[in-house]
Structure formats: structure tokens, C-alpha cells
Structure 1
């Protein structure tokens, strides 16, 4: 005949079972914590759900063209010309060999100033793009405005902008010679609207003779970086600089480029940004 367990026996068994469960849970917690510390992985669900950083958008050829400004984006009476015509624009007064004698203590400055003249003449102020690019030109009297959008290698673009920032000091005034004719070149810094990730404004004036007549060429320059892409605006001519038009092109053009990179279609005639 089997004896029924006494009340004391049942109480002791229950207590022992509860103690065993508590010991198992404690060991499990210690093991989980040790594993978490060993792996360096946080136990936070929110942390586990953090998305990976998305790559920067890539500017396509169609996107570069869509980011170009129109006549409605700039002030005054600019008239758009054919893109093929604008691509062939070159200012002959920018041709010349920099006089190294103007740089007695810094020979490297002479090469920087030569690079400035050459790149302005070639319409490649930031160097050759590494990706998509597009340009558009406008005319008004004796003035021209050339607007360019392009993708660059980021490190090259940063270096080009850093170089531009040095020019008002390194190339504040120097002489260039072409066919025996001396030309005086001056470079000053100008302010641009606070747009984009980085920017630099310059005014370059070249004084010399053309067909025996004393002439002054003035080029206002605006460069704005947006990520690894940039817009470059050069405007001016024999009638003087065009800083207001450069500022307007920079403001509206930067927004157009941002819209394109965000997958949006820029407005055909965006309203003026104050």
C-alpha cells in the first residue's frame, strides 16, 4: 500500500523546485549578459533596427541637363544660345603667359595663376568632370553667362575649391603676356549666397589692348558644391561684371540641382528665392 506524502514533504518539494527554477533563470541571464558583452552587441531592439547609411545619389546625364537654369531663372534680358555654341566660347584676353617675375618669393603662385587663366579659357575651372556634365549659355549685349553642372570625384572637387579660395591672395595682381602685349590681371574674392555645402566667388579682371584699343574684361565667377557635384557660373565681358546674375543663377541653380538629386523634377520657371 503506497503512503501519501505528508504535508511537510509536499512543502519541501515545492520549495526545492522553486529554488531550482530561480537558479536556472539566474544562470541564463548571466549567460545572455556575458554573451552580449563578449560580442559587443546591444540588446536594444531599436539599435538592431538602425538602417544602413544610404549611398549618395549619382548625377545622371539627363539629371545634369534637368538641373540647368533657364532664362526665367536669371535677371535682366539674357537670351539662351545653342549648347553647341556655348561650348565653343573662349575669351581671347585670358590667353597669356604669366610673368614669373611678379612672384619673386613664391614661384608656385605663378603656376596657380597660370592655371586660373588656362582653366577659365577652357571653361574647366574645377578641372575635368569624372561623371555626367551639362552646360548652357546666355548672351546679353557684349556679356556672356556660362552655366555648368557636373559630377566630380569628391576629393578632387574639395581640392579644386580649396585652390580657388587661395587665389585672391596668391593671384591678387599679376601680369600676363601674349604676342608681346602685356595684360594686367586682378583677382578678388566676392560673396555668394549661402547655398550648397561649400562655395567660392571670384571676380577676375584683365586689362589689355585689343586691336590697339585699351580694353577690360571682367568675369564674375560662382562655384557651389552639392555633395560630389558642383555648379559653375561665369558671367561678364567687355561691358563689366554680372554679379547680380551670378548670384541669382547660384541661388536657383543650387535648388534645381538638389531637386534633381532628390528625385524631383525642378519647376520649369521657379520663383525667385529671397
Structure 2
């Protein structure tokens, strides 16, 4: 930890002490360390940017597919749909232009809120993958769950996670308009299981109309980084969010992705064993 500057007569001594500490730290890197230093690094803000382990081989298309969850991993009555159907899921309530007048003192925040709506509609919350990717969709009544695994080896998924973390404050409530129809959007932070190297969760509600009747779209949105790869889950619908299913998906899915990264075959789900 850094200390506040001492009196001017001690400036030179402080500088020499700092140089000595740097030399000691550089030397200690050659050794195994006692664990306390690693603890200090993980607690620093910069540590969130660093991989938790040595780089794993690049995720392949086959690996991304193997890392996807199944119906058994999220329990309840979810039914898997065809990949082509899941790829076409785009909820019209997410279409709209953010009203900049809602952001009188922070115009730039409006751009972040617009990015959120657009990325939820386009299913690219963390940006376009720079490597292999795969997705799988599930339905349960009027609710949907979209699960994606992707490689971001040439971009940094942590940047997008850091951006997500700012949204509950920047976009806590705003208005979006589409063809004269106003929609009220609210964004709050949610808690996620302690999985992966970093994670962020949001609950997004959009109040508008559907089929000429008042409607509220509720989405549980989550992203987990595992090295340079990431998992994103979006679940919910007009019947409400699907918090429990999202958490189950992340717990099982993160382990599946770790297995793939380690060159292992993910454990079979109960439905695959029967």
C-alpha cells in the first residue's frame, strides 16, 4: 500500500526506500512466494484485468459447443429449441431511442444506455466475439433463456464487464421511444454465484405495450469471464425474470467451460446419462 508523503526533508529517504522495495519485489518474483503477496495482488483493481491462470489454448468451435449447457442443467421445464430459432430471438420491446433529456448532467450516459438496449436486442452484450462462439436457446411458457459461450482472445471481455458494472448507476431509469411509443427502462444490479474470474449481473425491466396492451419485459442478464473466454446468459420474458435458472446455468456452465479449456470432456448432464 502507498503512504502519504512525509515532510520534505524525508523525500530522498522515501524515494530510496521505494527503490529498495521495488528491487525486493523483483527478486521475490523469482521465488515461490508465501501466498500473502498473491493475496495483495488479487485485491488490487488491476488484478481484475489479469488472467487467473496461465493462458489456455484458444477455444475452438467444437469446444464452444461442448461447453454449452443442456436442459438438465437448468431444471424446471425448459425445452431446448433449434439453434436457428434461438439466433432469431429479438424482443421488439428492446427497440427504441434513448431520450437524452433524461440525462441533463451526463449526456454520455445516454450513449451507454443506448448501447445496453442495442446489445440486448442483438445478443452481443460483451461485443462481437473475436474467436469461436456457440449459443443455445431454451423455452418455458412465455419465458426464454439464451446461453452463449464465446472467445474474446483479441478483445478484452473484462472491459465489457467493467462497463456493465456502471449501468445500474448510469441507467437506473430512463425513457426510450419507438414510433412515438415511450418505454420506461430500469436497470439494477443483481448478485451472481462466485464463479469464473469475474462476473456481472443486471436485472433489466422495460415497461411498454405489446399487442396494444400494457406489458413489462423482465430480463435477468449475466456475464462471467473465464480467462479470455466468457459466458453470457439472458433469461426472462413477459412472465418475469428467471433468476434461479440463470444461477444454475452459470454454476454448471462455468465448470463445463473450464473443463474444455483444460482439454477435458465436460461431465455428462443427468439427461445425457439416462
TM over 0.5: yes
Unaligned runs of 5+ in 2: 1-29, 33-52
Aligned to 2:101: 101
Give the secondary-structure state (helix, strand or coil) at the position aligned to 2:69.
Answer: coil
Q: How does 1:63-78 map to 2 (within 5 A)?
A: 63-78=63-78
Q: Shift of residue 63 of structure 1?
A: 0.2
Distance 1:264 1:124 in 2: 27
Distance, in Å, in 2 between the alignment partners of 1:199 and 1:105 is 29
Match of 1:205 in 2: 205
**CA 1:214 to 1:246, structure 2 compared with 1: closer, same or farther past 3 Å?**
same
User: 1:96-115 CA distances to partner (integer Å, 9 max, x unpaired)?
Assistant: 00000000000000000000
1:134-171 deviation line (CA, Å, top 9, x unaligned) = 00000000000000000003653121111000000000
**Distance in 2, Cα, partners of 1:217 & 1:125:** 17
Aligned residue in 2 for 1:141: 141
Structure 1 equivalent of residue 152 of structure 2:
152
Structure 1 55/195 Cα, relative in aligned 2: closer, same or farther at 3 Å? closer
Listed as ranges, the matches of 1:34-183 within 5 Å are 55-153=55-153, 155-183=155-183
Q: What's the offset of the Cα at 1:90? A: 0.4
Q: Deviations over 1:30-74 (max 9, x none)?
A: xxxxxxxxxxxxxx9x9xxxxxx9643211100000000000100
Cα pair 2:130 2:154 within 8 Å, conserved? no
Say what the alpha-carbon RMSD is for the aligned residues.
1.9
User: 1:241: Cα distance to partner?
Assistant: 0.3
- CA distance in 1: counterparts of 2:223 and 2:270, whole angstroms: 20
What is the distance in 1 between the residues matched to 2:223 and 2:173? 21
Contact conserved, 1:175 with 1:184, CA < 8 A, in 2? Answer: yes
Q: Measure the CA separation in 2 of the matches of 1:264 and 1:246.
A: 24
**In the alignment, which residue of structure 2 is the partner of 1:265?**
265
Instruction: Please give the alpha-carbon distance, in whole angstroms, between the structure 1 residues aligned to 2:248 and 2:240.
Output: 17
Partner of 1:196: 196
**2:47 — aligned with what?**
none
What stretches of structure 1 move > 4 A for 4+ residues in a row?
A: none
CA contact (8 A) 1:78 1:139 kept: yes
What secondary structure is seen at the aligned counterpart in 2 of 1:131?
coil
Identify unmatched segments of 5+ residues in structure 1: 1-43, 47-52
TM-score norm. by structure 2 comes to 0.78
CA distance in 2, matches of 1:251, 1:211: 36
> Do 1:252 and 1:270's aligned partners in 2 also have CA atoms closer than 8 Å?
no
Give 1:267 deviation, angstroms: 1.5
